Structure 1
Amino acid sequence: MSAPLLSIRDLAVQYRTGHGPVDAVRGVSFDVQAGQVTALVGESGSGKTTVAQSVIGLLASNGHVAGGSILLNERASGETELVGLNERGWRRLRGRCIGLIPQDPGNSLNPVATIEASVSEALRIHGWRDRRKIHQRVIDLLERVDIDDPETRARQYPHELSGGMRQRVLIAAALALEPELIIADEPTSALDVTVQRTVLDLLDRLRAETGTGILFITHDLAVAADRSDDIVVMRGGEVQEEGPSATVLTAPQSPYTRTLLADAPSLAQIVERTPPVVETGARPLVEVTGLRQEFSRGAGREPLVAVDDVTFAVPRGTTHALVGESGSGKTTTGRSIAGFNRPTAGTIRVGDVDVTALRSPRGFRRTTQLVYQNPYGSLDPRQTIADILAEPLQNYRIGDRGDRAERVAHHLELVSLAPEIGRRRPRELSGGQRQRVAIARALILEPELVVLDEAVSALDVTVQAQILRLLARLQSELGLTYVFISHDLAVIRQIADTVSVLQRGRQVEFGSARQVFDDPQHAYTRQLLAAIPGTAFTSFGGHA
């Protein structure tokens, strides 16, 4: 076999902190071959992004490579040692030899620069001066990543493109100078399953065409199973296991790898969810009938129809899932149920409350709560966790200070958080801990209904599995009813009793989770199901 494109040996990375140096990566070794994909998987804090940043020389200012070697085997120049490379050397390599596809297209593209300016940046840095050649190269790149009407798109700004299109723009920018190595850092973690599949198919095609090697950073073992040649499993800054994907997935040697496999919803064995006992003839807790939600787009323009004639019911104590791609209307529907939108037409009833007729939602908030996708954005960074949890009680004048402190402590325990967490602030917590705080805050008023909007989509598989088990336990203990919004059908299959599939604002399918998954009636539902990652794991003959 020819020499690896990228060879990492005994890599060690430290960060300087106020409490002394922190070892983020220790003794990491693996290779990336030309024309192949090596997936680096693990939870947040495992060190996988630190490894990627070391390979492209973009560590945070307080980080440094403390030991080891990173060799890049360039086609033109042979081996280059990246550890200790000066800034001039990095300028030569970045873009031309090593390309980066960052995780978040929303934050990675300059909002005041056109798409053409963003894609052409690497060209201009590496000496391209002819404007016509630059423009033509940008158009060729946009066409190559399957962006429609590239001339128009090149003149647009990031906010005018969908999430999937913005991700393709980042891929086009990374490919501008046809680098030999691409680092893809969680490039599909925030995308719907169908858009995710399209982006991954694109990367596969480009890799096959150009022979580019890809270092693929992900916490999604199902995606790694489908798309990688080799898998490197990291935890706590160290490699737990590495080898050919089929071997790692079917015969894992590390207990941690086995835990990841068991927790990944697409890879786990499907355990039939025991349907809750629903009293015959009992009125559903949630009834949505003919819901239509329009949003004004300004004078002279037709309103945007976000939801159109959606109808379903949710029995008390069950979980109803709203699934579909971005723009399908699922979040709008959830916010309408929670009383944050006033519907244009139709009715929503929660218990005895006609939500569409509410003049003030204040009283309604005690019975219906909303948990957002991004707990960091919904938690006041200035408050302690205890104050955040106590605030709803203060707003509704529930109990005295001692009573509220007892309730805060009880709800921290309820979501499996230690009492000392109450003294911390949101920035001092992990993503999973913040999501538990958001759930505790929603439950502290003892609601009947909780609307969860993509509440686990940004979490690592192990943390996601913990939150899903927590939600199931709380539902069983407290009799909660959930409306669960997600684009992840693998998660939905684990947690939902009934499902509504939404497409462009319309409900194209409704039924029990078993009916929808085992016998989908609509072509769009079948398309969503076909896009669930993890099929390679089944073809390998693996089991969780």
Structure 2
Amino acid sequence: MTGSLLDIRGVTVDYVTDRGRHTAVRDVSLTVGPGRVTALVGESGSGKSTLGQAVLGLLPSAARVASGSIRLGDLELLGLSERRLRTLRGARIGLVPQDPTGSLNPVRTVGASIAETFRVHGDRDHAKIRRRVLELLERVGIDDPATRARQFPHELSGGMKQRVLIASAIALEPDLIVADEPTSALDVTVQKTVLDLIDNLRRESGTGVLLITHDLAVAADRADDVVVLRGGTVQETGRAADVLAHPTADYTRTLLADAPSLSSVVERRVPDATTARPLIEVEGLRREYARRGAEPFVAVDDVSFTVAAGTTHALVGESGSGKTTTGRAIAGFQRPTAGTVRVDGIDVTALSGRGLRDYRRTVQLVYQNPLASLDPRQRVGRAIEEPLRNFGLGDASARQQRVRHQLEQVALDPALASRYPAELSGGQRQRVAIARALVLDPRVVVLDEAVSALDVTVQAQILRLLARLQEELGLTYLFISHDLAVVRQIADTVSVLRRGRQVETGPVECVFSDPRSDDTRRLLAAIPGTAYNDETAHGAETEATR
């Protein structure tokens, strides 16, 4: 047996479609050692997940490994029958996928989903399986395992569902875990908890981890070795500390510059948030939801802040902290139970009917997932034009001109107006969503996790676009995010929310450099890449004193 647990040599993967042959992965080599983490890093479409699927023998029918070798210890995986591969999955190779909601059967309890791993591999002792399921749930840090095992996926949070998937992946104590973007959909504190869990399991069991991620900051914190992919080819490889401290490839340097945790604050020329007049004024905001047979659920409780015209105010916090509820109240989509919201002097909470409809020209929303917020049957140009039609603005020719202008404003080719959303990349779709939000010339844009689903390079492009549009158009942003690294780049002021209550508010630099709340300190500590930045700063200080 070689010293490597996983040894990939010269692997090329082709997709054969009606449009011809496309090479997704070209001549890629990497190793994963026992008890070590190798991070496979790159933007969307770089071939990361394709390589992970090749290791697991789960490539789609249109794909094939054209050349190369994939060995698990002394066993060559390429060429094995599907029956043989099924005996290896779970037993020797575990998978932690990206989307916990889509990966768990919605009509089966989480306990039954984990138990299936044992049954697939021939275990029929129901009492033993039940004990192991409860032990696994406890091992991955899920409270009250007996109760949780009887629950369905929709009854668990995103972080708990991801822990369930990790429990399934380690059930049979595999030699290797393939973790494919395991935390990209989670807020930073849950992300840290999940990554800590994988780290602990690696140390305890000597399991090797192939960590697939678009985020170099995560790789900086967690990986021993890094392989950087672009367009299916390796750009750079080596020890994580060496690659991150002294990148040799231009693309790696771009990824480092674009990773919000590892880059400097974006310079913005906007009005001073402390002296410009308030455009948004929120005072004592409270939002309750009725519950049958129980006390109302309080989603937002006594939240107050102001936002100066032409600046960006961020709402940050974990999932369930009340960020989106607050944003929707400001946009006029939810009436608060108590408190007031004023935008440009208008009492939003008092509006109804025509007044509320007209107000929505003032405030527009951009959501996290543009593919879900854009009608898949509607061409891009039609989607951008729709708000103009709804408000009866302009004739057909004027509206077409406006659509063209909006596409150019967000740096898209006007020819894309004839495409459907599914024909665009994630970054292009988000630019379309921004163009649609701006077509009515709003004063305020509420950005609800608008960059969290994008890889770091596209995310950086959208952040730069938002900064440019704010400067050119004088826009005021309410930026909702769980990612404090991104907030540090784009926001002037910030409110930190926890379980519906505001625990801290003020200028970003003051809150970040001198946090007064334990909750804020915990969020800041969870930012990936923090340890890397600390070591880099220490190294720079050491060099300066020599």
Superposed displacement of residue 18, structure 1: 2.1
Separation in structure 1 between the aligned mates of residue 15 and residue 334 of structure 2, nearest angstrom: 45
Separation in structure 1 between the aligned mates of residue 288 and residue 278 of structure 2, nearest angstrom: 26
Contact 2:264 2:489 in 1 (8 A): no
2:63 counterpart of 1:68: no
Alignment correspondent of 1:351 = 344
Which residue identity is paired with 1:310? V
Alignment correspondent of 2:78 = 83
**Paired residue secondary structure (2:137):** helix
Superposed displacement of residue 270, structure 1: 3.5
Alignment correspondent of 2:215 = 220
Alignment correspondent of 2:21 = 21
Alignment correspondent of 2:325 = 332
Distance 1:72 1:494, change over 3 A: same
Which residue identity is paired with 1:156? Q
Scaled by the length of structure 2, the TM-score of the pair is 0.96
Alignment correspondent of 1:76 = none
Superposed displacement of residue 420, structure 1: 1.7
Scaled by the length of structure 1, the TM-score of the pair is 0.97
Superposed displacement of residue 275, structure 1: 5.3
2:284 counterpart of 1:264: no
Superposed displacement of residue 82, structure 1: 1.3
2:290 counterpart of 1:285: no
Distance 1:382 1:275, change over 3 A: closer
**Paired residue secondary structure (1:313):** strand
Separation in structure 2 between the aligned mates of residue 363 and residue 521 of structure 1, nearest angstrom: 40
Distance 1:38 1:294, change over 3 A: same
Superposed displacement of residue 514, structure 1: 1.0
Superposed displacement of residue 475, structure 1: 0.3
2:156 counterpart of 1:161: yes
Alignment correspondent of 2:168 = 173
Superposed displacement of residue 474, structure 1: 0.2
Alignment correspondent of 1:58 = 58
Contact 2:215 2:456 in 1 (8 A): yes
Alignment of structure 1 residues 393-472 onto 2, 5 Å: 393-472=388-467
Alignment of structure 1 residues 132-531 onto 2, 5 Å: 132-270=127-265, 273=268, 276-277=271-272, 280=275, 283-298=277-292, 300-360=293-353, 361-531=356-526
**Paired residue secondary structure (1:541):** helix
Distance 1:509 1:356, change over 3 A: same
User: In percent, how many aligned pairs have the same letter?
Assistant: 68
Superposed displacement of residue 22, structure 1: 1.1
Contact 1:273 1:494 in 2 (8 A): no
**Paired residue secondary structure (2:10):** strand
Superposed displacement of residue 273, structure 1: 5.0
Separation in structure 2 between the aligned mates of residue 16 and residue 364 of structure 1, nearest angstrom: 51
Superposed displacement of residue 173, structure 1: 0.4
5+ residue gaps, structure 1? 74-78
Separation in structure 1 between the aligned mates of residue 419 and residue 80 of structure 2, nearest angstrom: 39
Contact 1:15 1:64 in 2 (8 A): yes
Separation in structure 1 between the aligned mates of residue 441 and residue 232 of structure 2, nearest angstrom: 40
Separation in structure 1 between the aligned mates of residue 14 and residue 280 of structure 2, nearest angstrom: 52
Separation in structure 1 between the aligned mates of residue 61 and residue 375 of structure 2, nearest angstrom: 27
Size of the alignment, in residue pairs?
A: 537
Superposed displacement of residue 277, structure 1: 4.0
Which residue identity is paired with 1:57? G
Superposed displacement of residue 259, structure 1: 0.3
Distance 1:39 1:278, change over 3 A: closer
Superposed displacement of residue 357, structure 1: 1.2
Separation in structure 2 between the aligned mates of residue 14 and residue 2 of structure 1, nearest angstrom: 28
Contact 1:246 1:540 in 2 (8 A): no
**1:110-140 C-alpha deviation (Å, 9 max, x unpaired):** 1110011111111000001011000000001
Which residue identity is paired with 2:303? V
Distance 1:92 1:100, change over 3 A: same
Alignment correspondent of 1:48 = 48
Distance 1:481 1:444, change over 3 A: same
Alignment correspondent of 1:128 = 123
Superposed displacement of residue 296, structure 1: 1.4
Contact 1:11 1:65 in 2 (8 A): yes
2:2 counterpart of 1:7: no
Which residue identity is paired with 1:356? T
Alignment correspondent of 1:39 = 39
Separation in structure 2 between the aligned mates of residue 496 and residue 186 of structure 1, nearest angstrom: 27
Separation in structure 2 between the aligned mates of residue 278 and residue 251 of structure 1, nearest angstrom: 37
Which residue identity is paired with 2:90? G
Alignment correspondent of 1:94 = 89
Contact 1:367 1:446 in 2 (8 A): yes
Separation in structure 2 between the aligned mates of residue 279 and residue 233 of structure 1, nearest angstrom: 42
Superposed displacement of residue 423, structure 1: 1.2
**1:297-326 C-alpha deviation (Å, 9 max, x unpaired):** 22x211110000000111110100000000
Which residue identity is paired with 2:315? L
Which residue identity is paired with 2:203? A
Which residue identity is paired with 1:47? G
Which residue identity is paired with 2:363? T
Separation in structure 2 between the aligned mates of residue 279 and residue 99 of structure 1, nearest angstrom: 52
**1:246-272 C-alpha deviation (Å, 9 max, x unpaired):** 110011110000000011010013456
